[in-house]
A and B are shown apart, each in its own frame.
Chain A
Amino acid sequence: MKSLNDKKHMSGTTFLLIITIGLFVIMYAAGMIAFAEGGFAKPQMFLNLFISNAGLIVIACGLTLVMITGGIDISVGSVTALVCMAVAYQMEVKHMSAYGAIFIALGIGLLFGIVQGFLVAYLDIQPFIVTLAGLFLGRGLTSLISTEMISIKNEVFLSWAKYKIFLPFGSVNKKGIFQPAYIYPTVIIALLVVVMMVIILRYTKFGRRVYAVGGNQQSAMMMGLNVRRTKMQAYVLNGFLVGLGGFLFGLNSCAGFVEQAKWLEMDAISSAVIGGTLLTGGVGNPIGTLFGVLIKGTISSLITTQGTLSSWWVRIALSALLCFFIVLQSIIVSRNRKTR
């Protein structure tokens, strides 16, 4: 009986994952055909998707975890801004070392994770309300540190940010000189996080508890799982990843300012949803989330390369895509329920 249900469930999720990956391939191929001049055909353009979205990949993975438990975290954008600002402030004004800044970043993320997790898991407050308060708290604290933009000039930090890892392939430029493709260390960290999340969710007890809690909280509780602790752990791990992602974000932008990462929560949620994570919980896959982020990145590069469309088209296109996937998921879920 169990395996039967599992199979039904898997078919729906696999279907969503295939749609996501297919959509990405089609969009990127369309970009290659339409904007071959714009550099879409070069391998570097593809790697740039990872470079510019490394922080988002990490944060969206954490959010996927929280969403699988049936919760949500909309504070990630403002916590990212807070992390960047705190890191920049500590290094530039307080002259902290870049190594110390890592601890600041992770500490802020963890603190938000612990407090929000406690309120959600142990006080039964709706996750959305808790993290909405977190959203405003993070943004407010950011402007409390400084309303001016602080750009990071710390040499160690910049050496991390600018360290290029060259790859054995590349493209030939107009003068016929071979240019190797490169990535930054942030990309490796982001991909490591994705791999780690896949391992955690698929092969550990904690991962199974997360799926169980999201699938049906009541049954999970009756089975003797500690629902509260699982939720708490998910939020704390998410907080840690937001701290890490915020640090990667800082490495990418080398600055802290109040408006930073303004729509990040929306990007992260839509990436997870487009990647097949169910909003009702219980279903989700970090691989799908990774492709969700890549789709978002492709949309923005398509619109930037196109040139005549305004930047808010990215938001509208992403919202439309999000809407499409939400409706699609809802159809698949209700079909699954009927066949069961």
Chain B
Amino acid sequence: MSANGKKKGRKALFAQGNEAVVEGALIAGCSFYAGYPITPSSEIMESMAQKLPSRPEGVFVQMEDEIGGLGAVIGASLAGRKAMTATSGPGFSLMQEHIGYACMVEAPLVLVNVMRGGPSTGLPTSPAQGDVQQARWGTHGDHPIIVLSASDVQECLEMTVTAFNMAEKYRTPVILLLDEITAHTREKIFVPPVEEFEIVNRTTPTMPPEWYKPYEETVRGVPPMPPLGSGYRFHVTGLSHDINGFPTSRPDEVVALMDRMHRKIDQFLYQVQIVREIECADCEVCVVAYGSVARSAELAVTQARGQGLKAGLLKLGTLFPFPRRALEKILGHSRAVIVPEMNMGQISREVKRVNNGRAQVRTVNRVDGQIITPDEILKAIKKV
């Protein structure tokens, strides 16, 4: 992550998180958006509808539903575009089959889910973090996935760039989870010039077309990907496929595909697991938080330190693959971990799994569409 906001050449902007996502996407090179509107994510779509048509390559399509939105995004990605869609709870549920398809055919794309209270139509305009496990396990079958989160408007911009970079680098869908507070809060942010960002583009094949094998093993586990229509003709299917892309049910070929799909992300865990450690070096009580809750947690930790309590915050930028190493380091010297979330305990499951009985794990949960305040977290810190 870059941008401390002070350098010259940076455009200042008063924006909400949803608009910052669009800024980030355009910086990353996104030129295709398809989707269906839903609160509290609609501003992303509206802003794309406004901006994309007047950009040289930009394409915007409003589809008939979210299933169509993600289908079109996958199609555009196969045709060589950096493409994205955005949605909220119910739309995210509809998209699940296509998330699995994108994993299987290894289509790079970014999907933003501004979570809203659920289940079902739930609380349309209230903050929630109830889709964390759905983002990980919502589609059927075993598959790796990268799930990111952002906690303020500046981060929305930067995380969106990161999401595109990871999608392109690992040929995979990347899900960015936001909550309504982050998405709708207006803040002053700085938009650094494009040159300040590292922008990653997918690797395209260089060999003659007749040598190209679309799902061949490579050093990074990520096969090069040509745009449809560029002379590399091959078959794309959601069925288990061999290295030529043709359907197979031969166990050795199926296992090789699954292994590579997991390995291409697992061997780069250190690159895809983004965390920020705040006052963690000597903490005895560690708060693990993400999204807007992490902002409340940061204030609570500062206040706790002011009162002489050795508190720290592990802020998760990446939710999946779960940043296990970073947590383990802190578990080495913390007697308690507090996990505040706007759900019934979806990341605390991961924390408890890694903790494996070592420290005390406490949760602070809200599912009533209300914000978790610094006070609530401070109280929990004091209690342990």
A, B bound? no
Interfacial residues, chain A to chain B (CB-CB below 8 A): none
